[in-house]
Structure 1
Amino acid sequence: MAFEEYFACEQLTNYLQKKGYDVTVGVGGLPTAFSATYEQGTNGVSIGLLCEYDAIEIGHACGHHLQGPIMLLVAQAIRNSSITQPYKLVIYGTPAEEGPQGKYRMLENGCFKDIDAALMTHASPYTTVDVKSLAGSTWEVEFTGVLAHESLTPELSRSATDAMVIAIQGIEFLRGHVKEDVKFYTTINDCKGVQGNKDPNIAKFNISIRTYHTEDIPSLEERVLNVVKGAAMMTGTTVNYKKVKVIDEKFPSLTLNQIIMDNAKKLNAPNIIPFRKRTGSTDFGRVTQMVPGAVSRFALVPEGVTTHSKEFLAYGKSKEAYDGMIMGAKILAYTVADLITKPELMEKAKKEFKQRKNNKKKGGKNEKEI
């Protein structure tokens, strides 16, 4: 359901236009992306409020439909506050996070260059923040074999299915010989040629590699592709593969995260935990490699209810969703107010960001607990 968010984009931008924001639809070369700007004075801190509104096949089972309303509430709270310092708010509508990575395309087309910090929000069982996210790549693999009758001329058959099964099994064995943070996911896409006693001569699958450490990806890719090539050799088939997706890890801003958590505690937000130990992948990771960024997680579902499930979808339409949205907006509104009225905090975030990037270039790690 990526790049089809016309209704959500229209609802959000219509509201922002009525409230006097400078709205542009179609930014970053994406028809359902937008930016909306409000500025008080000049030369103030510029805060980016990023919201997602795409959905997976079963609907908004990740709470993305709450992000836009939260960011509108945050922006309006700041505008209606007694803050006298200059500032600029830039609300970015970022479509297609689930899969095509809309933020990457927006970055490639010049978005997010007008902000000093990027803030996001996301539904969760807890009130918390992220200090890491998985990086990785996804490869599309296609084996081509030779069709033959399995009973009459089995010696002529070269099974693409066998090659795919061997490759996937080999990757399963590889799991036991990599670092603990490494994850492999395989998805079978196609097996053509199944009819009667003929074995498929075309077999396709995707392999996704995930790790918290970007620097490990090249060696992991090499090992996985060696398994794939070995499967082709073992079965007498040919193989083609190409990289179809790249995901960057998140640069955590401990400064921004701490401000968020301090405000969550001040507001007595529910289910507060220090930070998320398990995280997934997000196209926001690349944004955080350009500017200091943080994701505020607001409590919505009970512990044990996972995203991308029908249970999560049901909670997304509940009173808990409304309450979580209000609390999520309050936490970020307080955070934005702190960044505007206490310029030393923004300077601290920028300094940390610069140091973290320099450390990463030298081979250091980004992960640190709050």
Structure 2
Amino acid sequence: MKEELFSLSSYIHSNPELGNQEYKAVEAITAILSSNGFEVESGIAGLETAFKARFTKGTGGPTIGILCEYDALKNLGHGCGHNLQPSVALGAAISLSKLEETPPFTIEVFGTPAEETTSGKIPLTERGYFDHLDIALMMHAGDRTTVDGRSLALDSFEFVFEGKESHAAVAPENGISALDGVLMTFNGIEYLREHVRSDVRIHGIITDGGIAPNIVPGRSAAKFAVRASDRPYLNHVSERVLNVARGAALATGTKVEIIRHKSLENKLNVQTLNDTLLENAKLIGADNITPPRERTGSTDFSIVTHRVPGACIRTAFVPIGTSNHTKEWVQASNSPEGNKAIMTAAKIIGSTCLDIIYSKELLEKIKQDYLVEKENQKNLVVN
């Protein structure tokens, strides 16, 4: 299948589409799945570019979901390697469907749009599309082959301050600066940084600073992302950030509108499932296998792991230390190294699926470990 998989990846790379606009990608992906006997349901969860494709063999057995993303980055293209993911998912899923002598199983491929922006996995999760799965798996390109040991929970906010415009030279006393509210919010957050845990990340930008220097800004806005290693503590920190913005509005005489754009959970890890993926990576001879990264960001796959056991294999295709969302990643995403990563990741995920299909004991151990992890998460408290 490799030439067809490479062609699919190259086609998506050459036709980069932003989140919720991935029409060409979805058409190409689902056409291949349909031609290989998968039942395709398009436009799920109210998302035009989300889909589910299902193949069932026999009666009973585990149901395994393989998720893929395919959105590009604005003004950059596939700088996160999402064009590789559909080929990996199809390579693993279709190969499994062609095996003649296996125990019963069901494989479902999910197309999850807009990972970089609105996160299609959020409505898919909220509407229960993953709840029936025994396991959820996905691949992401990387500078090393490893598993996501953890991820940071995320809240993203927009603060829109309203003041009163006036001429900054002739009548400044008649104005109320919305920009002052934004700047005081930034300053207040700087003071907050000293009094939060070391895993917390708070980063923001000013998206509207006013119209002209000689006009007191009547409107100003900023966007912030707030992260922490677990949801209970993030809720605590996010509320403090919101209070900073509210206090800034009170202090400057402005009004602030708080808009919550997106919230993601920290990833729940199942060590048994992570170990199985890495064991298969070693058997296959994947490049640059390492322990999980010490520093990490956030992922919308995390919310899936709060419903079912899930794991993501990151597969090396660029030199260690090469950051994503760069031109280097764009170039590597359509290269021999990218194609090699497709085959490696498809084999890792396919082999892990086979381990689960053949071993009820392994699946049971994964589920038991997952329940323990969920209970541990539930018992987290903010000191």
Deviation at 1:166, TM superposition (A): 1.7
1:10-89 alignment, distance < 5 Å = 10-57=27-74, 58-81=76-99, 83-89=101-107
Give 1:347's aligned residue: 364
Given the alignment, which residue of 106, 110, 113 partners 1:92? 110
2:206 aligned residue (188, 191, 199): 188
* 1:143 aligned residue (139, 157, 161): 161
User: Is 1:132 equivalent to 2:150 in the alignment?
Assistant: yes
Q: Which amino acid aligns with 2:182?
A: M
What is the match of residue 309 of structure 1? 326
Q: 1:260 is matched with which residue: 277, 290, 293?
A: 277
Match of 1:177 in 2: 195
CA distance in 1, matches of 2:92, 2:359: 18
Contact 2:139 2:345 in 1 (8 A): yes
Task: Compute the RMSD of aligned alpha carbons.
Answer: 1.6
| Residue number in structure 1 paired with 2:128 | 110
Q: How does 1:246-285 map to 2 (within 5 A)?
A: 246-285=263-302
Question: How high is the TM-score relative to the length of structure 2?
Answer: 0.91
Q: Is the 8 A contact 1:131 1:253 kept in 2?
A: no
Contact 1:138 1:243 in 2 (8 A): yes
Structural mapping, 1:280-299, within 5 Å: 280-299=297-316
**Mean Cα displacement is larger for which, 285-294 or 77-86?**
77-86
Change (3 A) 1:241 1:351: same
Q: Unpaired runs of 5+ in structure 1? A: 366-370
Q: 1:235 Cα deviation (Å)?
A: 2.0
Q: Distance in 1 between matches of 2:183 and 2:332?
A: 38
CA contact (8 A) 1:46 1:88 kept: yes
Q: Is the 8 A contact 2:232 2:381 kept in 1?
A: no
The reply to whether residue 325 of structure 1 matches residue 336 of structure 2 is no
User: Residue 345 and residue 55 in structure 1: after superposition, are their counterparts in 2 closer, same or farther (change >3 A)?
Assistant: same
Q: What is the Cα deviation at residue 155 of structure 1?
A: 2.1
Residue 265 of structure 1: CA displacement? 1.1
Q: Tell me how far apart the structure 2 counterparts of residues 9 and 80 of structure 1 sit (CA, whole Å).
A: 22
Equivalent residue pairs, number: 364
Tell me, yes or no, if the aligned pair for 2:230 and 2:265 is still in contact at 8 Å.
no
Name whichever of 223-232 and 123-132 sits farther off: 223-232
* TM-score normalised according to structure 1 size: 0.95
Amino acid at match of 2:155: S
Tell me whether 74-83 or 55-64 shows the greater mean CA deviation.
74-83
Over the matched positions of the two proteins, sequence identity in percent amounts to 40
2:28 corresponds to 1:8: no
Quote how far apart the aligned CAs of 1:309 are.
Answer: 1.1
Q: Which amino acid aligns with 2:148?
A: D
Change (3 A) 1:103 1:63: same
The answer to whether the 8 Å contact 1:158/1:201 transfers is yes
| 1:234 aligned onto 2:254 | no
1:156 partner letter: N
SS in 1 for 2:328: helix
Deviation at 1:267, TM superposition (A): 1.5
Mind listing any 5+ residue stretches in structure 2 that lack a counterpart?
Answer: 1-17
Q: Which amino acid aligns with 2:96?
A: I
Q: Is the 8 A contact 2:172 2:216 kept in 1?
A: no
Partners of 1:196 and 1:349 lie apart in 2 by 60
Q: 1:225 aligns with which of 221, 236, 242?
A: 242
Q: Please tell me whether residue 201 in structure 1 is matched to residue 218 in structure 2.
A: yes
Which shifted more, 305-314 or 81-90? 81-90
The secondary structure found in structure 2 opposite 1:75 is helix
User: Are residue 160 (structure 1) and residue 178 (structure 2) matched?
Assistant: yes
The one-letter code sitting in structure 2 at the alignment partner of 1:293 is: G
Provide closer, same or farther for how the CA distance between residues 216 and 38 of structure 1 changes in structure 2, counting only shifts above 3 A: same
